[in-house]
C-alpha cells in the first residue's frame, strides 16, 4: 500500500503544512507533500481535475468546491484561523495601529497599499468601502498576483503599507509586521481541510486530515501566526 499522500493548499497555510508534513513523516511514517499556490489558482486546478488527496483552503473556497462535488461529503473540518496584519518595510516609520482612527491615518498617508487576492483581499476592500475611503484610496491600492506575498512590494518600493495573512508576512526579510487590525476592523480567515473526491486513498487522507487537526498541529500553527478555531 502506498503510504504517501499529496495535497494542495493556499500560500497562507504553506509554512505550517511544511512543518506538520515533516512531523507526520517522523512520528507516523506517512509521506505527506503539499503543493502550495495562491488560493484562486489552487481552486482553479481542482476544478480542472488536479490529482491530489487533500485540500486546505479558506473555509469559503472549500465550501464552494464541496458544493460543486470536488470534496468528499462529510470530510471537511476547520483547521486554523489566521488574522490579516499590516506591515511596513524595515527601516521605515511604523504607524500606530491601536484604533480605527490610527488605521484610517495609516491608510490615508500611504502612497501605495499592497494587498492579496482571495478572501483577505476581498475583506480589505470591503473594509475600505465601509470606512468610506474607497474613492480616496482607489489609485493607491495594488493587488499582488496569486501566490505573491504582498510584503514583496514593500521591499521594491511599490508600496509602503501591506496587508495579508500573518503567516505570509511574518518571515519575509525586510518586512516589519505591525499587528492585526484594531477592534471591529479586524479581519480573520478560517482555513479548512477536506478530502478530494479525486483521491485514490481517501481513508489514508482522512487519517492525515485528523492529524492536521490535532493538538500537536495546533501548537505548530500558533508559532506560524495561526490559532485553532474557538481558541
CATH number at residue 36: 3.40.190.10
Can you give the pTM of this predicted structure?
0.84
**How high is the pLDDT of residue 168?**
87
Burial 166-181 (b: 16+ CB within 10 A, else e): bbbbbebeebbbbebb
Per DSSP, 91 falls in state: T
Cell of 3: 503510504
Indicate if 99 and 143 belong to the same structural domain: yes
Indicate if 177 and 94 belong to the same structural domain: yes
**How high is the pLDDT of residue 193?**
97
**How high is the pLDDT of residue 19?**
92
Tell me the pLDDT of the chain averaged across its residues: 93
**How high is the pLDDT of residue 1?**
40
Bridge partner list, 165: 84
Indicate if 42 and 102 belong to the same structural domain: no
Indicate if 61 and 128 belong to the same structural domain: no
What is the C-alpha to C-alpha distance for residues 54 and 70, in angstroms, rounded to an integer?
Answer: 11
Indicate if 52 and 26 belong to the same structural domain: yes
Indicate if 135 and 153 belong to the same structural domain: yes
What is the C-alpha to C-alpha distance for residues 15 and 220, in angstroms, rounded to an integer?
Answer: 10
pLDDT (tens digit per residue) in 157-201:
999 999 999 988 988 899 999 999 999 999 998 999 999 999 999
Indicate if 154 and 119 belong to the same structural domain: yes
Indicate if 47 and 110 belong to the same structural domain: no
Per DSSP, 13 falls in state: G
Indicate if 107 and 170 belong to the same structural domain: yes
Domains: count for the chain: 2
Domain extent for 163: 82-185
How would you write the pLDDT of the chain (231 residues) with one tens digit per residue?
Answer: 456 899 999 988 998 999 999 999 999 999 999 999 988 899 999 999 999 999 999 999 999 999 999 999 999 999 999 999 999 999 999 999 999 999 999 999 999 999 988 788 899 999 999 999 999 999 999 999 887 889 999 988 999 999 999 988 988 899 999 999 999 999 998 999 999 999 999 999 999 999 999 988 988 889 888 999 877
Indicate if 111 and 166 belong to the same structural domain: yes
**How high is the pLDDT of residue 3?**
66
Indicate if 11 and 88 belong to the same structural domain: no
Indicate if 66 and 20 belong to the same structural domain: yes
Amino acid at each position: 500500500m502506498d503510504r504517501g499522500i499529496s495535497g494542495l493548499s493556499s500560500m497562507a497555510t504553506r509554512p505550517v503544512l511544511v512543518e506538520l508534513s515533516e512531523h507526520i513523516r517522523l512520528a507516523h511514517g506517512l509521506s505527506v507533500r503539499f503543493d502550495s499556490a495562491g488560493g484562486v489558482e489552487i481552486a482553479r486546478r481542482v476544478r480542472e481535475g488536479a490529482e491530489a488527496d487533500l485540500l486546505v483552503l479558506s473555509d469559503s473556497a472549500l465550501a464552494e468546491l464541496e458544493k460543486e462535488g470536488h470534496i468528499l461529503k462529510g470530510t471537511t473540518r476547520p483547521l486554523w484561523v489566521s488574522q490579516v496584519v499590516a506591515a511596513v518595510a524595515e527601516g521605515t516609520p511604523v504607524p500606530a495601529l491601536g484604533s480605527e482612527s490610527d488605521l484610517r491615518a495609516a491608510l490615508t498617508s500611504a502612497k501605495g497599499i499592497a494587498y492579496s487576492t482571495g478572501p483577505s483581499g476581498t475583506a480589505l476592500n470591503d473594509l475600505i468601502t465601509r470606512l468610506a475611503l474607497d474613492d480616496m484610496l482607489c489609485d493607491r491600492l495594488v493587488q499582488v498576483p496569486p501566490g505573491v506575498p504582498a510584503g514583496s512590494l514593500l521591499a521594491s518600493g511599490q508600496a509602503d503599507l501591506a496587508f495579508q495573512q500573518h503567516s505570509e508576512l511574518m518571515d519575509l526579510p525586510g518586512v516589519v509586521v505591525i499587528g492585526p487590525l484594531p477592534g471591529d476592523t479586524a479581519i480573520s480567515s478560517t482555513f479548512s481541510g477536506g478530502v478530494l473526491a479525486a483521491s485514490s486513498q481517501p481513508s489514508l487522507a482522512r487519517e492525515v486530515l485528523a492529524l492536521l487537526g490535532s493538538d500537536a498541529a495546533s501548537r505548530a500553527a500558533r508559532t506560524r501566526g495561526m490559532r485553532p478555531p474557538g481558541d
